[in-house]
């Protein structure tokens, strides 16, 4: 199972684009768009929300998390963590 947690918003193509790529690489995986409206541009507040959610998902769940602190002013680097038997992929940002 792959769980999406983003601040992309519910309108627009971004969630669909992510789901399309995931389908290309893991067509058998169940993808759940858990939250597309995490606290926008606020990784700190989004992290509190994210920390409260994983208890209802089975071991082995992969969390794909993106919260952008400011569109266009960052260089992203993926971070992947194994936390309590679940994989969490976070896109981390640093300003230029």
Note the pTM of the prediction, 2 decimals.
Answer: 0.74
- Residue 62's pLDDT is 85
pLDDT digits (tens, 9 = 90+) for 18-55: 999 999 999 999 999 999 998 887 778 888 888 888 77
Q: Which residue has the higher pLDDT, 26 or 71?
A: 26
Q: Which domain holds residue 49?
A: 2-95
* pLDDT of 92 higher than 60: no
Q: Are 88 and 60 in contact (CB under 8 A)?
A: no
Distances (CA, A) of 14 to 6, 48, 90: 10, 23, 16
Here the CATH number for the domain that contains residue 72 is: 3.40.50.10790
- Residue 67's pLDDT is 79
Output the six-digit token pair for 78. 């993926």
* pLDDT of 72 higher than 70: no
Question: Which of 44, 48, 46, 17 has the alpha carbon at shortest distance from 33?
Answer: 17
Domain count, the chain: 1
């Amino acid at each position: 199972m792959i769980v999406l947690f983003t601040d992309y918003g519910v309108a627009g193509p971004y969630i669909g684009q992510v789901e399309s790529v995931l389908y290309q690489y893991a067509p058998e995986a169940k993808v759940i768009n858990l939250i597309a409206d995490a606290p926008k541009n606020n990784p700190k507040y989004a992290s509190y929300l994210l920390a409260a959610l994983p208890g209802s998902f089975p071991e082995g769940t992969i969390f794909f998390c993106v919260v952008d602190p400011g569109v266009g002013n960052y260089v992203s680097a993926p971070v992947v963590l194994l936390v309590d038997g679940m994989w969490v992929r976070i896109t981390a940002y640093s300003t230029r």
